[in-house]
């Protein structure tokens, strides 16, 4: 095992796959000459040249469309958005073309494309640069949505995404690129659609994904000191979602808290809540609690932003509520 940064995990995954398959290329803003806005493509231009590592103008709709079209001629593009906030400009190509080509062509054209970049808030970036659209993409049939929380998962899942024959939305975070973690030195691939139990526990299940899961880990330590044992599940993949892992955990703990950095109306946590109450109603000893951001655009003020985002204290309070200790 070797300790590397999250950005290095992304770089290694893309580099290894591009060495293996010449039909793969990387395209996006500042991915080549600048080595990537977050240095996740450092050195790739030197190795693969400008035909396979392509800088684009600020034109998300244009280069997303080029990427989708190129899959129909045998390519496997990786399209980088500087942030998924900017993907809104190109979302027509993702929803109306990438997600639908396979069905609309009667199976003649698969669409092996990865759209990747950071999601969610990253400090004082204000309302238009702090949005989490995981649930938007997960709502669309034909797309797979992956949100890793550490370098190991990021590398293994990105390699799987690049090899997948369907379009994958691969979401990272500006605030995670410097995070360090252990990654095997040899090749490995993680299966899409499989959650992982990061901490085993007996009293309450906490489900989360992406960088916000760190708040669940902090809360678990606090609660452990008070004699409450938390089982933490990292979804890793939002669509397809591994409900079986969630169900088995809730059958054991009988309580569920869901932590998601997203607006509260109709998000991933909402769907999990519905599925759990529908399938496991008799197992629940308390109503499911979901923890989300405030139901407003993200504020610029650091004081307001702190209130807007979920944190470990919110998780502790939610766990105590489902334990009837509030």
User: Whole-angstrom Cα distance, residue 67 to residue 168?
Assistant: 13
Residues sharing a CB contact under 8 Å with residue 206, sequence separation 6 or more, in sequence order: 216, 219, 220, 230, 231, 232, 233, 256, 257, 258, 259, 315, 319
Query: In 10 A of CB 235, how many CB atoms?
Result: 30
CA 84 to chain CA mean position, Å: 11
Closest C-alpha to 124, from 294, 263, 260, 298: 298
142 close to 86: Cβ distance less than 8 angstroms: no
Per annotation, catalytic residue among 8, 17, 29, 60:
60
Is 60 catalytic? The answer is yes
Is 196 catalytic? The answer is no
Q: What is the C-alpha R_g of the chain?
A: 20
Closest C-alpha to 197, from 217, 183, 182: 217
210 close to 119: Cβ distance less than 8 angstroms: yes
DSSP letters for 40-98: TTTTHHHHH-TTTEEE--S-HHHHHHHHHHHHTTT-EEEEE-S-TTGGGGGHHIIIIII
| Alpha helices, DSSP H, located in the chain | 6-20, 44-48, 60-71, 91-92, 101-104, 134-138, 151-163, 213-225, 243-253, 268-280, 302-308, 312-322
Per annotation, catalytic residue among 29, 129, 231, 260:
129
238 close to 146: Cβ distance less than 8 angstroms: yes
The tokens of 120 are what?
């969610």
Active-site positions read: 60, 129
């Amino acid at each position: 095992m070797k300790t590397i940064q999250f950005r290095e995990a992304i770089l290694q995954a893309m580099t290894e796959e591009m060495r293996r398959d010449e039909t793969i290329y990387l395209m996006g803003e500042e991915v080549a000459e600048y080595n990537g806005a977050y240095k996740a493509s450092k050195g790739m231009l030197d190795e693969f040249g400008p035909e396979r590592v392509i800088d684009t103008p600020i034109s998300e709709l244009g280069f997303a469309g080029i990427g989708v079209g190129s899959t129909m001629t045998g390519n496997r593009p990786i399209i980088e958005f500087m942030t998924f906030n900017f993907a809104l400009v190109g979302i027509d190509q993702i929803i109306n073309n990438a997600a639908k080509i396979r069905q609309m062509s009667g199976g003649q054209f698969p669409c092996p494309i990865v759209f990747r970049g950071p999601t969610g808030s990253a400090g004082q970036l204000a309302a238009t640069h702090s949005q989490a659209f995981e649930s938007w993409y997960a709502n669309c049939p034909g797309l797979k949505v992956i949100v890793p929380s550490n370098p190991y998962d990021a590398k293994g899942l990105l390699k799987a995404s690049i090899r997948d024959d369907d379009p994958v939305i691969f979401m990272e975070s500006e605030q995670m690129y410097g995070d360090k973690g252990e990654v095997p030195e040899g090749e490995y691939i993680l299966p899409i659609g499989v959650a992982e139990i990061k901490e085993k526990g007996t009293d309450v299940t906490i489900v989360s994904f992406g960088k916000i899961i760190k708040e669940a880990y902090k809360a678990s330590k606090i609660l452990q000191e008070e004699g409450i044992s938390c089982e933490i599940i990292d979804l890793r993949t939002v669509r397809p979602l591994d409900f079986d892992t969630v169900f088995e955990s809730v059958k054991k703990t009988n309580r569920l808290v869901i932590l998601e950095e997203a607006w509260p109306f109709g998000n991933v946590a909402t769907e999990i809540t519905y599925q759990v109450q529908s399938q496991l109603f008799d197992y629940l000893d308390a109503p499911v609690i979901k923890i989300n951001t405030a139901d407003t655009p993200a504020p610029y003020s650091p004081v307001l932003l702190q209130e807007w985002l979920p944190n470990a204290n919110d998780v502790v309070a939610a766990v105590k509520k489902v334990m009837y200790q509030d």
